[in-house]
Structure 1
């Protein structure tokens, strides 16, 4: 059944997860404790085994002699499952020795093929004594003197000790986890109720914006809710900027058309063959201005569209080929650190931005221009989750610019080198287009001494890549 309450959903999921987690934790801890107890039990038997080995010698009458003191009364109490046994091997015909707890019974010895010795010449196996006790046997064989007489040494321990220890620990563990789980449910419920309160505050702030009582979502919100309020405020600001941009673009368009239209009106009075060229050039200028502002409007409308896609490799390779033909005296190198990168931009905008940078670099380069493409981090202040970002860098080996000259070069219409052809609008156009796509454009001095122009542009969104 669909649960409409966020609080109920979170509480249900938290309860289910806590229950599963506690069960898994109980099983894992119990298994680890069981292995640890078994390992400790084995180590205890090994220590007792070598205590017996160190206590047994061959007496003057060629018999086994010794009285191991293991410090445990269970080796002297009957039917406990705790025994030690020393048996002669081969031609050594001595009387076996054993603890008083074993009495007249014995423990069956499996063959070496079934239970082989390890690299320390020890072996461990389970057996059942004459009294029905399940025991773990630690066994080794030792040569006792220079004549090669040897004996088999065995020490056993009752496995019920391990089972009882593990069962007691498991009971205590389950009780503790149940108490902890119930307490966690209460704490989780209170924490969820308290933690979701900021959502109600955000809802009330949004209602104020809708009613016109506020322009933005205001208030102190937790980090998780803050991102939502930031996006909502960004959406409100974006709508406001769209209106302001539309007004500004209309004004710019009108201002840009004013002078060409005036010239056309004046020349129209005196139209003839000579003046026809002037009329034509001014008409072309007017068309260029109109197209420029229409492009800006198109970019503003499509910069968040997931349909805009341009394959970086194909476009950049085509631009480099054109530049090589136009500048045969200079080399142009294209390096892509990762093939198949796609820009979330219209192709003509990519060609205009990168083309302007290549043209500018070729104009000032001494011998070559280097174009590199690689993945990049999101520009500061831009959500890094929604998009991939791509860095395109154009570097030349020309004279370069100092920091003050870089600031001047980015201003619209400024030209630092009047000896070279150009309008001074190229870098400004690059900056405007990258800004419209929420990208970043900056100039630095390259490692070859010339200018290095770096564009950080949006790639295809991760949801559609």
Structure 2
């Protein structure tokens, strides 16, 4: 489970779409959080300033409404226009107190104060500012968090002085800030989600040309196209041009390799043919020895030439061979050569296409048919079908594989004999004709196409030869 999770995480980290979306989402999240914090802090600063300006304005109203009478009493009835100064326990109060012993008067207070007490800090702890005002936060008798603005004013020429305080409920301010912050966070969250969705759409649309390039490369690999064609954006066009240049270069290399292989084949065929002809004029046993060795050399040279040709073709545009027609021709020949045996053929679906050269299909399946016909009693069955899920060649990235099975009803082979039979030049039955190269050639050709070849005991007790070969997908075919 842990390994599968690591593999999934590694796959996501290698995804360009995932990287772009992750970075865009991370940046959007960080930016929105910073914006939310900054806006909330600015709003708090503005709200607190407005709150203090309101308290200061109310303080001046109270100062202008209160005076000292000749009887050394405070007089006045401030009308602040705010009903909260009349509501008990509201946290909004105004207080005027005589100081310095110059007034023999009870303090004037708002109707909302009642019997509440507002703690007053010492001026040494919170001094007056240059405007002879001081602000401080405390709690009233009703546990309301309140903000107090305080000043001292000389009321007349006789030096009679009073302390003026206006108190505002800070809980109201905090509630207003919280409401604003909540609305702000909700709006930014909606904006962030909308931006994320828009980023997803924009990124997917922006990366669509890369998907088109991938599909074009798949068509090249499947043999449906020879170049990376398409109307690509300016950023991707240089990549497409370089890939096309690489394909052209690869095609030239393949053509040179094919030419060299052909030249080598022609240069070796004539000397080998001369040796074979001369061996017939040499008396036995020397002539037989020369003939046998020349035939073995001819078979091995042809095998390696085939491997070189397949290696050159495998990296280029894949050839395609229809399984139905090719297998029918092979079976038709075997029926004529072995009239006493049946060769039932099954190709499902009939339109199955192998991604191989026709002569390579004929050589692999032909060798298997010849080998099976030598040992079969009555029947050699041939089947071709798409490889089931989980069965593939040595290239798991390839999308399509096909299975070709040749099964006889002969004596079959034991596991140890199967391992010996796959060795080059090994013949288990010396009484049968052949060089012992057939099965090894089949294995080599299948391996060059990144397929697999195996032998096992069949359902009828004979030998079953199974080839897993590259196929062409249905949509490409």
Shared fold, TM over 0.5: no
Q: Tell me the TM-score normalized by structure 2.
A: 0.44
